[in-house]
Structure formats: C-alpha cells, structure tokens
Amino acid sequence: MEMKHDTLTGEYEMRPYSKMTKEELRTLQTELKAKYRDAQQLNLNLNMSRGKPSIAQLDLSMGMMDVLSSDSDLRCEDGTDCRNYGVLDGIPEALQLMADMMEVPKDHVIIYGNSSLNVMYDQISRSYSHGVMGNTPWCRLDQVKFLCVVPGYDRHFRITEYFGIENVPVPMLPTGPDMDLVEKLVSGDESIKGIWCVPKYSNPTGNSYSDETVMRMARLKPAAKDFRIYWDNAYTVHHLYDLDQDRIIEILQECKRAGNPDLVYKFASTSKISFPGSGIAALAASLNNLEDIRNQLKAQTIGHDKVNQLRHVRFFGDIHGMVEHMKKHADILRPKFEAVEEILEQELGGLEIARWTKPKGGYFCSFDTMEGCAKEVVLRCAKAGVVLTSAGATWPGGKDPYDSNIRIAPSYPTLEELKTAAKILALCTKMVSVEKLLQKTEAQEQDQDQE
C-alpha cells in the first residue's frame, strides 16, 4: 500500500502494531510525538462534534425564503387560510409530502412543529404522565426501562434519562439491533416500555436494518401492553449515491401484517433537508395510536405552523422535488465521506488499532479504537485543535464500558478542513494505541519478573 508522506502522518510500515517489538514501538512513539508537536503548531480550530449541515448545504434551501411573500395566496388546497388557527394534523398537501417521504398513507400522519426530537420528547412525556392507550401512566410505576441500541444517538438516550427511565444497552450489529437479545428482554420484562431505533443509516454507524431485523421487530411479543418501537427514520432520503442505496422494509405495514398494528411510532423531519430547526416534523402511527395522541395533543396546541408547512410544499412541490433536492445534498456530502474513508484507510489500514464504518448515507460514521483508548484519542485531538464528539456519547449516560467508540461527523467542515481533521484523528489514534501496547508489554514483563 502506498503511503503519502506529510507533516502530520509521516510514513510507516503498514503492519499490525501488536506484532511490533517493544523497541520498535518505542521508536515509533518518538516519531509520532514529533509529528504531533508539528500538528499542534498549525493552531487548528476544527469542529466535527455534531452532524450539522454545512453552509453550502444550507444555501441549497435559500429559495424557500422566496416562495412566500406578502402578495402570496396563503390558502392551502382545501381552502384553509394558513395564517389562522386550526388544522391539528397539518395541511393536506404537507401531509401528502411527509407521508410520501415516510412511505405511509397520509391518514396515518400528524405534522408537528420544527423538530422530530421534540415530538419524541412529547411522546415520552405523554406516556409518562398520562399513559399509552389507557394503560397505567409510567410515573405511577415502580420501574420503567427503555432499550437503547448502542452505539446510538445521545439525544434519544437523554430524553429517557431525563424522565428517570432506565436505559438498557443493546448491541448494534451490521444488520441492526441484536434481535435475539431484544426479543428475550422485551418478552420477559413488563417494565420495558420501548426501544430507540434509527433504522436507516443509523447514528452513528451508518448501518441500516436488514429485512430480517425489521420483520422480527414487527413480530415482537412484548410483555408490556404499552411497549412501543420509537422508529426515528431521520435519514430516510439521505443517500450519498444515486444507485447504491440502502432500502428498508416499511415498519408500519410490516407491523400490521404481523398482527401488531399499534406497536410502532415512526418519526421523521425535514431538518437536514431544508433548514435545521426550521423544518417540519411528523409522526406516523396506527389509527388507534393517532386517536390516543390527538386526544392528548388537543390540550397542547390548536395547530402547528401551517405557513411553514405551506412554504415547504411550495418549495419542494412533491416527493420527486424533494428527492432531486437531496441529490444536491449528496453531491456536497459524498466527497467528504469518501475523503474520511480514504485517509483512514491510508493511515490506519492494516495496523489493527482501529476500525470504522463506511455508510452509504446519513450523517455519521462510527470509529472504534482499541479498547480503553477513545477518551484519550478525543483529548489528544482537542489539544491539536480538532474537536470530536465526546467519547462515550454514543452510550447511555455517556459511559462506553469499552471506551472505544467515537462518532465522526463529516458534514460541517470544508473538504480540506475535513482531510486535515481525519489525519489528526489517525495520528492521535496511532499515538494512544502505541502507548496502550507499551503499557501492556511492560505489564506482561512485570508479571514475568514476579513469577
């Protein structure tokens, strides 16, 4: 494998570090420290801590600011004046747009405000205070648990933590959650009330659930009657490639086919399609679930922002317009993801000190160091001017028991900044790995001396 020599990474023999002698590791450590000092002299200030769209991506939606003006007809297709109160579920054309994006009939959709995370919070809150479809409110129960697929989305975990719910980790496999464990836990424990899922281009791995995983999820036999799958399909149209795309089975229809029509809440928004924090969010569920939700929602609001709903419909037109819009996002994101993969492979491939995912969509990839190294890698990167998501953030409570997982968010930096950040990450991973291996070698030598 050909290696490019530069001031950050240097040129090293591509063989597993674990195969190196103590003397070789010491020599390598000295070289890496010198490279790290050079990197610190660059005075970098790069941030890859969250999956924010870049300025170039935000610019794609600027035309949305021009589709409505003081001269615009703000009535929707059924004649409703979007400037006034009313329309709890959302205007018809926005319902159709979101239903098409979520791959469900529009009578199974409610449109909310600007954030799907807010919808999920509200759904947990309503379940906690008033219960689900006549079941005992969670606040009256001695114990409530939620399954958390790990590594996963920290903001999901924070919601249930906030309500004092016990988060139970379930491993994320290349095909989705460990369904053997999910089935065992859900069927045997009535206190388990739900599971957090990002089924497509998952945060942070970028993996998508297999057909078998979705079908098994839809056929769960929970001990709790009020158990629900929280299906956050945040990246449903967020592909990086036109043809090589992940596709997943539609969960509402699969639950209905399995005789479990009420088992799932499905969430989505346009936050990384139009403007983050100024998009529209939606929930899709069975008619029974929606009736229960509406009865509680009527006490909360008279209706959400219909002007914003109309703005989105007028800008995208329909689902086909949205798909074409997302291709423009992909053109910006794809080179960034590919650059990260290329640099990590060049710098770390064959060293057996890290592994990473190669997603076909979404906003993240997952990076795993040797066990016990992630926090130190993140700290070293920060001292070199590269801010990453906190190590452990992808686990409930921010506590990764293996101290190995780091979420990489390539979207916001420029391509050149991202390349530099990826090289810094590789350099810091090498440094910390060498130190870890030296510690292990020295510990083994001490044990042998004591024997």
Q: What is the pLDDT of residues 330-374, one digit of tens each?
A: 999 999 999 999 999 999 999 999 999 999 999 999 999 999 999
Q: How far is Cα 177 from Cα 150, in angstroms, rounded to an integer?
A: 8
What was the pLDDT predicted at 50? 86
Closest CA to 150 of 366, 299, 348: 366
What was the pLDDT predicted at 443? 82
Boundaries of CATH 3.40.640.10 in the chain? 88-317
pLDDT at 2 over 50: no
Task: Tell me phi and psi for residue 361, to 5 degrees.
Answer: -175, -175
Least confident of 190-199, 285-294, 440-449: 440-449
User: Secondary structure of the chain: what % helix, strand, coil (to 5)?
Assistant: 45, 15, 40
pLDDT at 11 over 60: no
> Which CATH architecture describes the domain 17-56+324-444?
Alpha-Beta Complex (3.90)
Boundaries of CATH 3.90.1150.10 in the chain? 17-56+324-444
Closest CA to 326 of 236, 413, 410, 246: 236
Tell me what the pLDDT averaged over the chain comes to.
95
Q: What is the mean pLDDT of residues 97-106?
A: 98
Q: In the structure encoding, which two tokens stand for residue 51, read together? A: 């999956």
What was the pLDDT predicted at 13? 54
Q: What is the mean pLDDT of residues 86-99?
A: 97
Candidates 3.40.640.10, 3.40.50.720, 3.50.50.60, 3.20.20.70; CATH matching 88-317: 3.40.640.10
The string of pLDDT tens digits covering residues 377-389 is 999 999 999 999 9
What was the pLDDT predicted at 4? 38
What was the pLDDT predicted at 5? 39
Q: What is the mean pLDDT of residues 34-38?
A: 97
pLDDT band at 451 (very low <50, low <70, confident <90, very high): low
pLDDT at 10 over 80: no
Percent of residues, the chain, with pLDDT higher than 70: 96
The stretches of 131-282 forming alpha helices (DSSP H) are: 154-162, 179-188, 211-218, 251-257
Q: What is the mean pLDDT of residues 119-134?
A: 97
- Give the largest Cα separation in the chain, rounded: 88
What was the pLDDT predicted at 445? 80
What was the pLDDT predicted at 397? 96
